[in-house]
Amino acid sequence: MSKKFYLETYGCQMNVHDSEKANFSLSGSGYEQTSDPLDADLILLNTCMVREKAARKVYSRIAELKHQRRELKRDSAAVFGVMGCVAQAEAERLFERSSDIRLVMGTQAISKLPQLIEQLDQGFPRAIDVHLSKDADFYEINADVRQTTHIAYITITEGCNKFCSFCIVPYTRGRERSRPAEKIIQEAKSLALQGFKEVHLLGQNVNSYGLSGRYRGSLPGVGGTARGTEELTTFAHLLERLAVESGLPRIKYTTSHPRDFDEEIVRVMDSHDNLCEWVHLPAQSGSDRVLRAMRRGYTRREYIEKIDSIKRARKDLSITGDIIVGFPGETDDDFNQTLSMVAEVGYDGLYIFKYSPRPHTPAAAYIDSVTEEVKTERFMKLNELQHRIQKDRYSRYLGRKVEVLVEGVSARSSSDVVGHTRCNKVINFPGAVDLVGNLAAVKVTEIKPNSLYGSLS
Ligand code: 5AD
Ligand code: SF4
């Protein structure tokens, strides 16, 4: 009988995709996936550090699962493993703090999963791989093992070289590497053949695709990746090739970085119908002083110039962003500049985070001068402003016909289905379950705070 594994995923799309990769890796070594943690021989937690106290949550989740298993007298042979950013950042400390954890797998170790499990099977008490290499290979998986339905993720870059002072990513995901363009295009084509309607190109900073190769002395587009064997290109060029060659109806990408986002990307988006009308371009703050302390590498004005280039597009592109409130030293004046910038941009959606220190990062050594109370106050104020802006932004869709990828039956009403528009808004409309997986033309009839409502047209 084959052994069973249970995998729980926290965090971003990158993590969801890493879980697909781990699933692929484990299936190749005779493991079968189960959705019941109480029935599993191996319980893996794929962790995220964007939220605070991530490591602590790992220990409490393990205790909870252990308790449930004990109640069912299934305390026997389950192995607990941790992967993702917490595994990378905490490494051996996880073993020290919890004797239940026997497997720690860093962000570049997914391909090593079978060997790590083999070590445990051979009787080693613990197995760990948290090695980070600046030219680690990308782990390739087949189109037919995707766990996400209708939308498929494609990794184009991993890691980050920007070292923003608040962010742990360069430490947990290592130096930025770009996946060879041919591999990406091959994967996109095979996903299209499998029937996927939409892909999301993934990377911490997709716009710098190909640039890390250039840092090592090779030119984009003229041969030579980081390894000098395959062609690398710029992000705009990659996007254009995917639009032309993949056969996919809808292509989205995330995340962009204001420093590397350029007008050529907008030109390419404007030129191809299958490039969707959405740009996620995090500003983090509207104050130059704070942006400098964050080491973002651009000013508010430069950011607004990029936004203006997006607004000048022929297509109506929707813009979303991230803001951190309460960064160390952020004054009322700094925060007011963030408010005015958010109003000036007019985001279609905004993710607001209260600053909290992350281990290893330079900002963790700054004095966290903004009290929790003030952070909450600023969060609420910005949230309220965004609510008003969003209402206005959403109302421009009223009466418009939008293309929806139907992803499932609505959680709120079984007579409605739910999906995303090309501009990445959630939309519900009355429809039957057989629409799921298809593209539908829907007329927007109503706007809600965070979604649209419509009817088939
Ligand atoms: N504190 C608060 N928010 C953070 N983010 C990243 N690091 C931190 C931190 N230390 C936010 C940023 C980033 C998003 C994914 O998470 O806004 O864009
Ligand atoms: Fe890289 Fe900065 Fe984004 Fe973190 S916030 S992943 S350091 S660009």
What is the reported pLDDT for 278?
A: 98
Establish whether residue 282 lines the binding site of ligand 1, counting it when its CB lies within 6 angstroms of any ligand atom.
yes
d(CA 80, CA 273): 46
327 lines ligand 1 (CB under 6 A): no
In the chain, which segments carry CATH 2.40.50.140?
A: 401-456
Between the CA of 135 and the centroid of ligand 2 the distance, in Å, is 19
Q: Which ligand is nearest to the CA of 358?
A: 1
**Nearest ligand to the C-alpha atom of residue 257:** 2
Considering only CA atoms, which residue is closest to atom 14 of ligand 1? 322
Reported residue count of the chain is: 457
**272-293 residue pLDDT tens:** 999 999 999 999 999 999 999 9
Architecture of domain 133-276: 2-Layer Sandwich (3.30)
d(CA 391, CA 376): 22
Q: Which of 168, 255, 303, 324 to mutate to test the pocket of ligand 1 (most atoms within 8 A of CB)?
A: 324
Q: In the prediction, which pLDDT does 75 show?
A: 55
Distance CA 7, CA 441 (A): 36
In the chain, ranges of CATH 3.40.50.12160 domains: 3-129
- Read off the pTM: 0.91
Kindly report, as residue ranges, where domains of CATH 3.30.750.210 are found in the chain. Answer: 133-276
Is the four-CA dihedral 260, 49, 284, 328 of positive or negative sign?
negative
- Any ligand 1 atom below 6 A from CB of 322: yes
What is the predicted pLDDT for the residue at 143?
Answer: 67
C-alpha 325 chain-centroid distance: 20
Stretches where the chain sits below pLDDT 50 are 214-229
**pLDDT 10s digits, 23-69:** 988 888 888 999 999 889 999 999 998 777 788 889 999 999 988 88
In this structure, which CATH number among 2.40.50.140, 3.40.50.1370, 3.40.50.2300, 2.130.10.10 belongs to the domain 401-456? 2.40.50.140
| Nearest-CA residue for atom 2 of ligand 2 | 164
- Quote the pLDDT of residue 393: 97
In this predicted structure, what is the pLDDT of residue 141? 80
CA-CA-CA-CA torsion sign (389, 452, 247, 205): positive
Fold of 3-129: Rossmann fold (3.40.50)
User: What is the residue whose two structure tokens read 């030219």?
Assistant: 135
